[in-house]
Amino acid sequence: MSMIPKLRSSVTSISTILTPAERLRVDAAGEGLYRALHRDSVDDVIRDLKEQRGVAAVLMSVTRCEQREATLRVASMVREFPGVPTVALLTRFEEQTPHTVLTLGRSGIQTLVDVRQPTGWRELRSVLLAARGSDIERLALTQLTADLAGTPPDCWQFFEMLFRCPVKVNTVRALADQLEVLPSTLMSRFFRAHLPAPKRYLAMARLTRAASLFENSGLSVANVSNHLDYSSPQSFGRHIRTILGVTAVDFRHRYDGEGMLHRFREELILPFLNIFRTFTPLSGPPGRVPPSGWQTLESVQPRSD
């Protein structure tokens, strides 16, 4: 089987404003997952967001945001860069902490991670992992917008949902619910148009997300499997072998997010552009019922296994 080589290998960058003690702990907690760019002011962080395209999130110490001027600059930053999540980090509780937390909330920060307990550091890794995953989703939607220019709105809606849907949407039935169409209707319309099954599109989109997460050397197969809501690492491995014919370890070595996105487009988008110009999977005329085997096959996908 032909494989698309990895196009790049990277670790997520996050821009931070932390105390010296917090910097050390954040670096230790994120080894292999992210690279912290420690800054001394909000203006320095804004400069990162403007000049370093790889910054996936901003991490702000509650302790460093106790001055009114700092919270005003944070509010301005959050408004200016709504696509980059800003996370507040709480490492100690002082008299002014409740007021600062409320002020940060009013500034637009929606996520507060309390790391005074060990579980907080796991939560921080999870939050930043989710931010890393959003990078490939934005890239995919940007590329597909160009590929599918001029297609009917509900054709675009199907492909947009593949990369916007929550990771728990892992079956065609769940995807159809998101799109407000019957699963049998959706499958029938793809079948009648001589397109690959919706299951194939969903599976390849999920593996594109997985490949992007694997770019972080600190994440194990189990970590990625859990984040993408597979029932187990073994289920995840079976899914990769079924779709691509390789092991999870081989998959990690051969693909990154951009490489899998390239394969997704080469196999499932570009050969069918003429069909997509008039394809209406959500509002088209009802199609004939697909062969009974389809219904069985659609149910054999992890969580999905």
What is the full DSSP assignment across 207-231?
Answer: HHHHHHHTTSTT--HHHHHHHTT-S
**Three-state SS at 56:** strand
pLDDT in tens, the chain (305 residues): 444 445 444 567 899 999 999 999 999 888 777 889 999 998 999 888 877 656 788 999 998 887 777 778 888 888 887 767 899 999 999 888 998 899 888 888 889 999 998 889 888 888 877 766 567 888 898 899 999 999 999 999 999 999 988 888 999 999 999 999 999 999 999 999 999 999 999 999 999 999 988 876 667 898 888 878 899 999 999 999 999 999 999 999 999 999 999 999 999 999 999 999 999 999 865 434 333 333 333 333 444 44
**Three-state SS at 55:** strand
- Cα–Cα distance for residue pair 124/117, rounded to 1 Å: 12
pLDDT of residue 286: 40
**Helix axis angle, 172-179 to 183-192, nearest 10°:** 100
pLDDT of residue 24: 93
Residue type, position 264, single letter: F
Plot region of 229 (φ>0 → left; ψ -120 to 50 → alpha; else → beta): left
User: For the chain, what is the largest distance between any 2 Cα atoms, rounded to a whole number of angstroms?
Assistant: 67
Choose among 122, 112, 21: nearest CA to 59: 112
Plot region of 152 (φ>0 → left; ψ -120 to 50 → alpha; else → beta): beta
- CA angle, residues 216, 263, 250, in degrees to nearest 5: 50
CATH number of 12-131: 3.40.50.2300
Q: Is the dihedral of CA 274, 278, 283, 284 positive or negative?
A: negative
Domain with CATH 3.40.50.2300 in the chain: 12-131
16 pairs with which residues across the strands? Answer: 38, 59
CATH class of 148-298: mainly alpha
- Cα–Cα distance for residue pair 13/280, rounded to 1 Å: 39
pLDDT of residue 300: 33
Tracing tokens 């230790």 back to the chain, one arrives at 28
Domain with CATH 1.10.10.60 in the chain: 148-298
- Considering the entire predicted model, what is its pTM? 0.60
Tokens at 222, concatenated: 């189990």
Tracing tokens 């919270």 back to the chain, one arrives at 71
